[in-house]
């Protein structure tokens, strides 16, 4: 089988506590055609010594002030030469075998431009979130309208991969977003072609007190308002728009309830991700 080159970009800033685990989760995939790029925003917490230690097995890494996470991601993708792109934040992890599954999927589905897979939420110590409802996904074959009306429900950025050509065709990352850049990018990709679906666990999204998602909710809400202003443009207030929105919401409730039932019945097991804080 031909293994397409997968370019993984990790934007990082002062995440030394988690950075090494993130790096190892990618490097220990043993994927035969990996390009791993780390873009650091000028960390001062020990991250650079970690990156220097792993520099021989990184395709590229650098550390300099940037304009934020979106700018760092865009810089990384400008250097990338792979056929398949993704980004993994410096506190998240890929699960074993993820890249092999993704590479195989894209080889077997040449018309698919983006795919969403399974992922689950972990805490600072790597323990899966205790609540079953909405704490994990098996991916969703999302459409343009589903993203517009429902947002990113069920589509975890950490478990989403796309073709480089599609990324370039839609204009890449929009740097004005610092929270909604994944939703914005995925919406533009889905406008070109519906997302594929890879229903197996690929990654973990780490929620902890220092992460942006927990600290800057007001900024997040303002960016979502800006997103809706661009992509809904009144559709959310029309009768047809309201019907579509509620249809997606109800289908999503069913999806979440089904997944919660699977977990409660023991049909889905979310293992803890081993984590040793070498930074403290």
Q: Note the pLDDT tens digit of each residue in 35-87.
A: 999 999 999 999 999 999 999 999 999 999 998 999 999 999 999 999 999 99
Q: What per-residue confidence (pLDDT) applies to 72?
A: 97
Question: What CATH number is associated with residue 249?
Answer: 3.90.550.10
Residue 272 forms part of a structural domain: no
Q: What is the pTM of this model?
A: 0.95
Residue 280 forms part of a structural domain: no
Q: Note the pLDDT tens digit of each residue in 210-227.
A: 766 555 678 888 999 999
Q: What per-residue confidence (pLDDT) applies to 235?
A: 82
Residue 278 forms part of a structural domain: no
Angstrom distance (rounded) from CA 196 to CA 239: 29
Q: Are 57 and 44 in contact (CB under 8 A)?
A: no
Residue 14 forms part of a structural domain: yes
* Phi, psi at 29, each rounded to 5°: -65, -25
Q: What is the DSSP string of 48-82?
A: HHHHHHHGGG-SEEEE---S-HHHHHHHHHHH---
- The stretch 146-162 carries a mean pLDDT of 97
* Phi, psi at 39, each rounded to 5°: -120, 110
- The helix (run of H) or strand (run of E) holding residue 157 is none
Residue 277 forms part of a structural domain: no
In which domain, by residue range, is 215 found? Answer: 6-264
Number of structural domains in the chain: 1
Residue 279 forms part of a structural domain: no
Token pair of 35, please? 């390009």
Residue 178 forms part of a structural domain: yes
* Phi, psi at 24, each rounded to 5°: -65, -35
Residue 231 forms part of a structural domain: yes
């Amino acid at each position: 089988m031909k293994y397409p080159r997968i370019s993984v970009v990790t934007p990082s800033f002062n995440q030394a506590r988690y950075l090494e685990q993130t790096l190892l989760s990618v490097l220990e995939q043993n994927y035969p055609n990996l390009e791993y790029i780390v873009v650091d925003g000028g960390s001062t917490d020990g991250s650079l010594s970690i990156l220097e230690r792993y520099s021989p097995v990184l395709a590229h890494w650098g550390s300099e002030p940037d304009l934020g996470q979106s700018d760092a991601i865009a810089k990384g993708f400008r250097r990338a030469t792979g056929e398949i792109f993704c980004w993994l934040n410096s506190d998240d992890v890929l699960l074993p075998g993820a890249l092999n599954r993704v590479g195989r999927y894209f080889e077997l589905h040449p018309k698919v431009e983006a795919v969403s897979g399974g992922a689950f939420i972990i805490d600072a110590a790597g323990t899966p979130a205790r609540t079953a409802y909405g704490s994990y996904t098996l991916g969703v074959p999302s459409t343009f309208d589903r993203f517009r009306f429902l947002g990113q429900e069920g589509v975890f950025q950490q478990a989403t991969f796309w073709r480089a050509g599609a990324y370039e065709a839609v204009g890449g990352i929009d740097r004005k977003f610092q929270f909604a850049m994944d939703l914005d990018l995925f919406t533009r990709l889905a406008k070109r072609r519906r997302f594929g679906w890879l229903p197996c666990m690929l990654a973990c999204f780490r929620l902890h007190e220092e992460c942006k998602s927990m600290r800057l909710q007001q900024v997040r809400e303002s960016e979502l308002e800006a997103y809706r202003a661009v992509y809904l443009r009144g559709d959310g207030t029309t009768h047809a728009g309201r019907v579509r929105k509620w249809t997606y919401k109800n289908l999503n409730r069913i999806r979440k309830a089904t997944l919660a039932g699977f977990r409660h019945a023991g049909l889905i097991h979310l293992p803890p991700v081993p984590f040793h804080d070498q930074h403290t």
